[in-house]
Structures are given as C-alpha cells and as structure tokens.
Chains A and B, each alone.
Chain A
Amino acid sequence: MISVIIHKFSSPKSFVQITKTLYPLFIFTGLFMLIIGWTWGLLFAPPDAVQGNSYRIIFLHVPAVIFAELIYFFMALCALMHIVWRVRLAAYLIKSAAPIGAMITFIGLFSGSIWGIPTWGTWWQWDARITSTLILFIMYLGILTLHGSFSNLEKSDRLMSILVVIGVVNIPIIKKSVDWWSTLHQPASISVSGGSSIDPSMLYPLIISVIGLGFTLISLGILTSRSYILGREKNKKWVLDHV
C-alpha cells in the first residue's frame, strides 16, 4: 500500500510539472521574507547587551546552520526511499540537494567564523559543534564526489544513498554537541517544545529569516533538481514534450 502511494506521487514527470508551477510562489515568498527578516534584524532589532552589533550575524548564521542539518535529514529520508522502494526521484533529489547543502553549510561555517572574531577572539576552535558541522560539510562533498566517481549512474545512486544513511548519525551529534560536551557555543536558546530565551524584538526577525531562507533554498532546490532530472531522463518522451 505504502509502496503504491509512494510510486504514484514520485514520478519525475509530475515532480517537474508541479514544481514548475510552485517555483514563482516559493521564490517570491522566500525573497520577500528574507528582505523583511534581514532588514528588521540588521536595522531595527536592538543591539545585544553583551555582543553589541556583531550578534546581527545571527539572522544569517542560525538559519544557514538549521538548513545545513535539515537538508541532510531530507536527503536521508530520500535515501531510505531509494534503498527500500527503489524510487528514482529520491536519488535525483539527493543528488540535487547535496550541492545546496554543501553551499549552505559553508555559509554557516563561514559566518560563524567571522562572528567568532569579535565575540570569542578567534575565527576557529576545534569545539564539538564546529567540528561536527565541518564533518557535515565534508560529508556533502564526499557524497558529491562519490556520485561523480562511477559511470554507471544506477550504481552511483545506490552507493550515494547508502553513504547518506550512514552519515545521518552526525545530525543528532551536531544538535546535542552543546549539551554533551563543553563547547564555546551556548546551549540552544530556542526549542520546538519549550519556548525561547531570546527577546521577541530579536526572535521575530530570526524566525522570519529562517522561513525566508527556507523558501529561497527550496526554490534553488527546484531549479537544480529540474535541470538534473531533465538531464537524467533526457531520452524519455515526456522530457521531449516538456522542453
């Protein structure tokens, strides 16, 4: 039953058609919310009592790191679908999401390093959170390298899916690293279940920035996956009709 439902809604043709319609809505929402969130955070939110204005990097850094992890989690779900139900679209989505994951993880690491200079007095520290995030970045690059190493694309898809599933163990480590080890990072200030210790004047623009970056990255994902799917399925009749 699950298999029937999954295969019904996972045809590359339907995906390309549906996402083509959704793309303008997603990119408009994403950019609009990013502009609102970042303008609010950079110009209207009050300076932090301890960090002054350098904390304003939070409106980029936190959304970037959240999506660095979420994209990997999404890839892991796709990898399971590909391994268990042999869903072709799932492998295409992993291959399309990996460069976006690498890019946003790089932005997270880079923005954190720059933020560290005025606040910690160093741009790099081998603490648990930073090191596990660096491992995530290397995982993304490894997945892309592995997929590009084989001429047999079906074999590449399968090995890539296995590597993604193995690497998902790093996600809870990143999340819990601030609780398990003594690190420069503070424990989580916002939790899904238990409210926030951040003042609303800083929290609201942060939430808007997270949603805005989310829609923007989904839009980018739609573009990269469409080009990859069209390339992989180029000999299918529906692709010829589509272009």
Chain B
Amino acid sequence: MFDIAFNNVNEIIGMNGHGIYVWSVYSIAISILVVSFLIAKNRIKGVKRKIKIKNAPS
C-alpha cells in the first residue's frame, strides 16, 4: 500500500499521458484555495483598519 506507484519523476509528471489533466486540476484548485485565504486575511485586516480609523481619537 505504501510503495510509490511510479518509477521516476518523468512518470510522476506524465502519468501515462494523464498528467496534464491531473496536475492542471490540482494546480488550479490549490491556487483558488490560496487566493481565497489571502483575500479573507486581507479583508479582516481591512475591516479592522477601518474600525480603528473610524474610532481613532481626533
């Protein structure tokens, strides 16, 4: 169960002609997830900044 299913890096990338489908799907999905996290983190910072500015003593 824990033997690697490929003999070398080229086989991992190529996956017998299916690599283009497999790797493109994972790359795009991971990119979407990373961007979503970055947007969410920036939103929290933005909201906190706005609240601080609004309530700063003049």
Contact = CB atoms under 8 A, between A and B. Distances in A.
A243 interface: yes
A99 B28 CA distance: 17
Interface string A138-165: 0000000000000000000000000000
A61 B22 CA distance: 11
Interface residues of B, number: 35
Interface of A: 38, 42-47, 52-54, 56-57, 60-61, 64, 100, 103, 106-107, 110-111, 114-115, 117-118, 200-201, 204, 216, 220, 223-224, 226-227, 230-231, 234, 239-240, 243
Interface of B: 1-6, 12, 15-19, 21-22, 24-26, 28-29, 32-33, 36-37, 40-41, 43-44, 46-48, 50-52, 54-55
Given A61-B25, A115-B25, A220-B36, 8 more contacts: A43-B4, A53-B15, A53-B22, A117-B21, A118-B17, A204-B1, A223-B40, A230-B47
10 contacts: A42-B22, A44-B4, A52-B18, A53-B22, A56-B18, A60-B26, A60-B29, A117-B21, A216-B33, A220-B37
